[in-house]
Structure 1
């Protein structure tokens, strides 16, 4: 098995998270599989206690990840006589092996206005090269349908995403934010770009009458692409302390923020999956999210839904959602963790890859 591990120790947090979780769960579930990880030249070798067993590391200086995932992985797979190659976002040709790619989303095809020209040019390689793969894995049925519609993928299989193993581990410490202890606050988490709809989120929170320096909106994440927070009211809210940007936070701090939030807001304009609402739900936070098909699919009755483009509607929903309730009374977090489990996901991936090896693949609609 040859795995694309380009983002093993650094890079976009969501990509790094998925890549590591798949590799670690694969090693746990299939300890006898011979794994080769294709990593960047300067990347640290995986710790032996973290990834025990027979693991080889092949290095590549190719940049960016699209070329490492395709050319370097193919070369290593040929030399190793691999049965399976797994890359992320960019599919590799792998003669003699099953070629699989985990494609996170193709939102740039449906909503190019959310991305820079450079991003669109780079991401276009995802759909141009996807026909190289025997099977395309993705996170949701909604995204599988989009990939099928906007690419020549042969087979698209939604296998889901698991909750962060580190985040939901039992007996893990929590790191309280001293600015927020004893206070009510709203929370949103994610990469900060125009798609996350932060300007409407802030304006709606202000219009609700619930936002103030004493009850702030806490925004966790790092800037990524177009941001779009340009309204003067938004800038004034940041200056006054009614809006707090934390940047990156540790898992211990994030755990505390989720557990103590009065309301978790996720008013994104579009998602392939959207993990933060599930994480917030696990820790018992009340949820107000965009009314998107993918959230109806992943969250069901665990959230309240709202049109993310209508500020007044969002403001009313925020005001209505601040009625006190007993936290964590909606469902069992253990049930959520069972639904979004990395071991289950890699077992499904391995089964599907084995089927692809024994039967020719045809282009077809997404499967569940």
Structure 2
């Protein structure tokens, strides 16, 4: 069997898509040594270097940039017809839209989210996204997505789609390998308090950090000070968040960090007293898995996907209700029984997200598509 993987949307920037590709497909390559995999790389990232050298893994550099819609379309339009004349595949999988369909074999599309369908997206952008998504779904023989909630969103838009759900994953062992010296150095180097809440995610509107800052300010008005650490790279929203922090008088209470290593982020999880995810929209939510692996309680916005991943075992709040968010944070920091319950649940639940287990599910999906 020959499998082509269109990884031209990936680059070295931290993302859930990158973490999923490295974790699940790294295990996938090793589980199926009889399958020949070919990774098509963007011109600005050597994706194959994320993996160990394997005899069944090859790569091809393309002229396609990892970012920029027009550049990707223009370079891909010329590149893919030539590439497919040279290479035929039993399965060709793409990880972004518009989907590139192979003229041979079956074509799979992985979808992480469909945020372009949301009402808060501009009318023209939403119309364009709908057209491209519909065409991509028509061209796909099968769709893989990251949650049942995401599957339902896709089916609401395109009822005939053939969809499998394979969760994102995590190597929980990465957290257990953090030692006391690393924790002490990270805490001291960044002057972190003994107790603080943590939020993780790039600075963009859907992460809902403005409401989180308002919730922290409300708690302060109640006499309940909650130091907050936000870790994330800027995707256009950081300046607004910093302005909100300053206006709320929280400059000494809220810390922002960007550009951290994976090890440093794990230290932050291990040191925090509470993980908070206030997002207004997500297709999955890898930080929830990271909080489970770090054995930390969490409070989450009341999204269907968050309830799915945590099986209704967390504390939830309306993402648009600052008071509800503040109440949830206070409960999770003061209710010892609830905190213990969440930690114990997370210790068990995280086992469902091992990369080996998820790679096995992906292998089953491939086999079912080829052999019925």
The two structures have a TM-score, normalised by structure 1, of 0.84
- State which drifts further: 334-343 or 254-263: 334-343
| Distance (Å, rounded) in 2 between the aligned partners of 1:9 and 1:63 | 9
2:152 to 128, 145, 150: 145
CA drift of 1:294 comes to 0.8
Unaligned runs of 5+ in 1: 360-368
Equivalent residue runs for 1:107-256 within 5 Å? 107-113=115-121, 121=128, 125-151=132-158, 154-163=161-170, 165=171, 168=174, 170-172=176-178, 174-175=182-183, 176-178=186-188, 179-209=190-220, 215-225=226-236, 229=240, 233-237=244-248, 240-256=251-267
Equivalent residue runs for 1:56-67 within 5 Å? 56-63=58-65, 67=73
Question: Is the CA contact 1:69–1:88 (under 8 Å) kept in the aligned structure 2?
Answer: no
- State which drifts further: 177-186 or 50-59: 177-186
Equivalent residue runs for 1:1-368 within 5 Å? 1-11=3-13, 13-44=15-46, 46-47=48-49, 50-63=52-65, 67=73, 72=79, 75-90=82-97, 91-113=99-121, 121=128, 125-151=132-158, 154-163=161-170, 165=171, 168=174, 170-172=176-178, 174-175=182-183, 176-178=186-188, 179-209=190-220, 215-225=226-236, 229=240, 233-237=244-248, 240-323=251-334, 325=336, 330-331=343-344, 335-359=348-372
Distance 1:276 1:196, change over 3 A: same
| Distance (Å, rounded) in 1 between the aligned partners of 2:156 and 2:176 | 41
Question: Is the CA contact 2:281–2:303 (under 8 Å) kept in the aligned structure 1?
Answer: yes
Distance 1:7 1:93, change over 3 A: closer
Distance 1:70 1:172, change over 3 A: farther
Distance 1:159 1:255, change over 3 A: same
- State which drifts further: 284-293 or 117-126: 117-126
Question: Is the CA contact 2:219–2:225 (under 8 Å) kept in the aligned structure 1?
Answer: no
Distance 1:18 1:151, change over 3 A: same
Bigger fraction of residues in helix:
2
CA drift of 1:282 comes to 2.0
- State which drifts further: 332-341 or 40-49: 40-49
Unaligned runs of 5+ in 2: none
- State which drifts further: 97-106 or 68-77: 68-77
- State which drifts further: 130-139 or 14-23: 14-23
| Distance (Å, rounded) in 2 between the aligned partners of 1:20 and 1:48 | 7
Paired residues in the alignment total 357
| Distance (Å, rounded) in 1 between the aligned partners of 2:243 and 2:212 | 14
| Distance (Å, rounded) in 2 between the aligned partners of 1:220 and 1:231 | 13
CA distances 1:281-326 after superposition (whole Å, capped 9, x unpaired): 2212221111111111101243101111111122222222221638
CA drift of 1:101 comes to 1.1
| Distance (Å, rounded) in 1 between the aligned partners of 2:255 and 2:126 | 28
| Distance (Å, rounded) in 2 between the aligned partners of 1:236 and 1:300 | 37
Question: Is the CA contact 1:167–1:255 (under 8 Å) kept in the aligned structure 2?
Answer: no
Distance 1:117 1:230, change over 3 A: farther
